Amino acid sequence: MWEYSEKVQDYFFNPKNAGMLEDASGIGEVGAIACGDALKLMIKVDPEDERITDARFQTFGCGSAIASSSALTEIIIGKTLDEALKITNQDIADFLGGLPPEKMHCSVMGYEALRAAVANYRGEVWEDDHEEGALLCKCFGVDEGMIERAVRNNALTTMEQVAYFTKATGSCGTCVEGVETVLERTNAAMVAEGLLDPALAFVAGGAPVVPAHKQRRSPIAPPQPSSSRMTTVQKIRAIEEVLEELRPALRNDGGDCELVDVEENRVMVRMSGACVNCQLAAVTVQGIQGRLAERLGMPVRVIPVTAGQ
């Protein structure tokens, strides 16, 4: 179970500014009920100084989504539009005393809704209106612009982080390659602009190249031989060790994972229990993939298989 701050709980059980706002000056809508989360943000703006005088929201989603939406309205009331647009999703999370990493997408949804509401008030076409070809994750309605902003605003460098902050790749997984491309391209641009350590930049198909003095090693697991020097038996044994380390966490959530087969850099696993139909199953697979790549010292592709395979 995730741990929530007292403020998150308060804003969930006692949401501020929930409901419709009559004669709203601007309305921003993001997400979709079919995707699991949806937010409608309504703002009233004083035309003389473009100051937000009131804000209301309607949210369909989890407790973190409701708390983040409520917090957003509290933050923006009294601010000018330009001041409000400087607010980041991290500001929303900080206002609430923090959010679990797996729930950061709720704060991102608030950030996106605010941008949409301001654009609506100003009569502008919101750049996130999914131009042809820009929609990457159809399951959760996430496009390139949203992913790039989340990566830049939060210095994301892994696919797991992107999934936590946007939900992209968290369902069917067909958008993985497209999201990897955007993450790699955005990280490269951030490196060129001096905003990101080159050692941390994402590289599709492999782990970031981190200098030895910056690598974090487990005090428990002994250094493993590189995969090029591993025998097949050693590689399988290393994979099984990683899976055993991860299984307690999966079992706590009612799921499980077991090794089925290994073919070169492809690792076939069988997911069971809650892991089978979980909306974040793709995130779980990516987490396993990252741990295996770190242990084996090479890029690997984890492939879930069904019981009949």
Binding site per annotation, positions: 35, 62, 106, 137, 139, 172, 175
> Which 3 state secondary structure label does DSSP give 161?
helix
- 31 touches 39 (CB < 8 A): yes
Detail the residues annotated as belonging to a binding site for Fe cation: 35, 62, 106
275 catalytic, yes or no? no
Report the C-alpha gap between 294 and 298 in whole angstroms. Answer: 7
Report the C-alpha gap between 295 and 24 in whole angstroms. Answer: 54
239 Rama sector, left if φ>0, alpha if ψ -120 to 50, beta otherwise: alpha
Which 8-state DSSP code applies to residue 3? -
Write out the DSSP string of 96-141.
Answer: TT---GGGHHHHHHHHHHHHHHHHHHTTPPPTTS--TTTEEETTTT
- Helix boundaries (H) for the chain: 6-13, 63-76, 81-84, 89-95, 104-121, 144-154, 159-166, 176-192, 232-252, 274-277, 281-296
CA-to-CA dists, residue 157 to 163, 226, 291, angstroms: 11, 24, 15
278 catalytic, yes or no? no
Report the C-alpha gap between 99 and 96 in whole angstroms. Answer: 7
Q: Which residue from 43, 31, 26 is spatially nearest to 120, judged by alpha carbons?
A: 26
Strand partners, 142: 137
Catalytic residue positions, numbered = 35, 106
